[in-house]
Amino acid sequence: MSHFLSDEQVRIRDVAREFAQVEVSPRAAEIDNKDEFPADLVRRAAELGLFGLMIPQEYGGLDAGITTTCVVLEEIGKASPSLAGMLSVQIALCPVSMNTAGTPEQKTKYLVPSASGENLMALSATEPSGMMNTAAHQTRLTPDGENYRLNGLKIFCTQGSATVYIVGGRTSVDGQEGYGAAIVEKGMPGFEVGKYENKLGWRGSNTGTLIFTDVLIPRENILGGILTGLGEVSGLGGLTGNLGHCASALGCAEGMLAKTIEYAKGRELYGQPMTALQPITYWLSEAWVKIEAARSLLYTTTRMVEEGRIDPNMIMACKVHVCETAFEVCNRLLQVWGGHGMMNDTGVHRYMRDARVDLIAEGASETMLSGIAQSILA
């Protein structure tokens, strides 16, 4: 893929690659087994400047663009799809949402420390009724003088150890119902982080429940208009966030393929090298083909975004195809490992489990297909 990357993009990719191979990879299986948030690796990612990839230079970032960001997340995903998934929220989703909908004051207050790693950000929209079913959401932003009060419950928020949260809630102004977003800071009275879930994949990312009880939200902490819809709240960040998840899923499939090739080369079966068995070689080559096709779709789309040709259908197609492909590849390659693939000691079944999460994170495949259907059938 380096044939279309600039020298600067190659440099950033190589920084991410070394970080992933030298620092993340030796810890990846442990993070999965213990389900502990790797705070030191997250700090290290910030020290390397990765938090600022999508933040404008005027706010301390690199303004490197979504292609570079996806290249970085792909490299980290090869070692730990879980860490890449969590970082995608911090790097590709939240800062872009803040930059798109935020005021200059909000950007200065929140993006500058996010670029340096002082802030870890999270976006929380999902409720028991689902993420996109906003009409059934119970979390509400209600006026309190010149300010607002936030009450409700959010679930499945992938937050790491976030200090700043973008939280969606139903609103109303003069009888007109809408949806808004509040910037909630850790430590605000009435804001409580509930239990973390014990998950199938993305372990170590601290996904859990947020509880809001009469949290006072200053007027200046409303992101966008008070009647802004959920799509407008996340804005371009929702689109780039999906592309970030695609990149981590792509890296997940690549990491599984690399480990499986290494395993197959060193294993004998039925008195001959495993790589001499036709089903095995077909599975490996088929995985390679599918990964390359998924990569082509992803980076064609990221370059379209950077050229200003933002096509939501293409982004939704990426979310479906790349993530479905990653799970299909990881699931098939796990078969090559036989019983060894089921054992925690090899540390490979985490790739299949992490890939499965990407089929749901930031919008399930069916939600994406529904969006595409509405467009092409209109």
Which residues are the active-site residues?
A: 362
Pick from 118, 100, 112, 365: which is nearest to 249 by CA? Answer: 365
Give me the phi and psi of 81, to 5 degrees please.
Answer: -60, -30
User: For residues 43 and 29, what is the distance between their CA atoms, to the nearest angstrom?
Assistant: 19
d(CA 339, CA 352): 15
Give the three-class secondary structure for 246.
helix
Quick one: DSSP state of residue 222? B
Residue 190, judged by CB atoms within 10 A of its CB (0-12, 13-18, 19+), counts as: middle
Q: How far is the CA of 72 from the CAs of 93, 188, 217, in angstroms?
A: 14, 33, 35
How far is the C-alpha of 119 from the C-alpha of 98, rounded, in Å? 13
The whole-angstrom separation of Cα 315 and Cα 298 is 8
Both structure tokens of 375: 């467009």
Please state, in angstroms and as integers, the Cα–Cα distance from residue 363 to each residue in 132, 167, 245, 272, 285, following that order. Answer: 8, 16, 10, 45, 30
Q: Which two tokens stand for residue 326?
A: 């990653």
User: d(Cα 166, Cα 149) in Å, to the nearest integer?
Assistant: 15
Rounded to whole angstroms, the Cα distance separating 115 from 91 reads: 9
